[in-house]
Structure 1
Amino acid sequence: MPLPNLQEILTRMDQGQLEEALAALEDLVTHLPGYTAAQVVYARALEAAGRWQDAFRAWQAAAFFLPDSPTVRKGLHRTLSALATPSAPADPPMTRPDFEDLDRLISELEQARIVPAPDLEAIPAPELEDDIDDMVSETLARIYAAQNQYEEAARVYEQLASQEPERATEYLQKATQMRRKAR
């Protein structure tokens, strides 16, 4: 049985006889797999029929023989794109009237109001204990002195003198110096 001529197949496709052309092309590429022009026409015919998976396989066969062909690369890209896009959404999106969205937004915004704080003057001040010892150090005294708060520095040095009797004279001298600077 003689194989069909590629030109005759293209003529059938132009006349709208796609199924007959596909059968002839399949027969042709089965018997002559190295006939790259037939592979390309077969892949395009499969695309026209919407058989994207088969078209992809046909483009892969053509790419085996023509790996650098831009036509084959475009065909592979086209079929992959068609295979990657869903044909129809699984569930159509639920449509709600616009006013329902507005009502929901209004209720959310009403619930998001900031409640003002009560009058701060009406809240009683916390009772602080006066007998809490301050944490003091020589560094704190130097910080007060650097900030020109000599009275505070003197007070810290006096507390240090009472806490550290072995260095009491040194701290009392520094406290006296700070008091002089404060005047």
Structure 2
Amino acid sequence: MGGAVTAESLSPWPVPPPDGYTVDDLFTLPDLPSHAELIDGSLVFVSLSPRRIFDMATLYLLESGSRRTVPDHLLVGREMTVVLGPRDAPEPDLFVVREEAVRSRRQISFEAANVLLVGEVVSPDSEARDRDTKPRKYAAAGVPHFWLVEMAGDEDHPVVHTYERDPVTQVYALTGIHHERLRLSVPFSLDIDLATGPR
């Protein structure tokens, strides 16, 4: 005879524990969709709606441009989990991490202490998380630099807002809004033409 029918047994998704999920749960729960994130102990799944060409092309533009000039001791990547705390493990669109943090080719996450920069491309289905929730959490976890990328203008070109963490207030301060060119000296020298837009 089968057991009693409960809400848990009828649900296709795991029912969260009373205190929410932990990072350990994120890495061990079976059958989670790819690119699941953990925010405030809640699982967040990437939208199943098609991703815009803007998002993919902009990420390629920023990733390839960063790879050209990043120092040897740093690694540029995208869409991997960054553990900020026991109940927070988002997956930034773009990140720069210290090379010594790479321990294995099977590695699936990085600790915030080893991350120098994170970037988020604002998507229609994640605007509040990209503009508010994630930046606050990245800053609180000590990630020194943050980029927020928006679509703008008649040409739908990328605009990059760059931020640096104030060690006293532990929040991000805006250091620039880049429409035509992303030219920086920190956290490393960088010069990316944004005016032509992603292709």
So what's the TM-score if we normalise by structure 1? Answer: 0.23
Q: Which has the higher helix share?
A: 1
Q: Which has the higher strand share?
A: 2
So what's the TM-score if we normalise by structure 2? Answer: 0.22
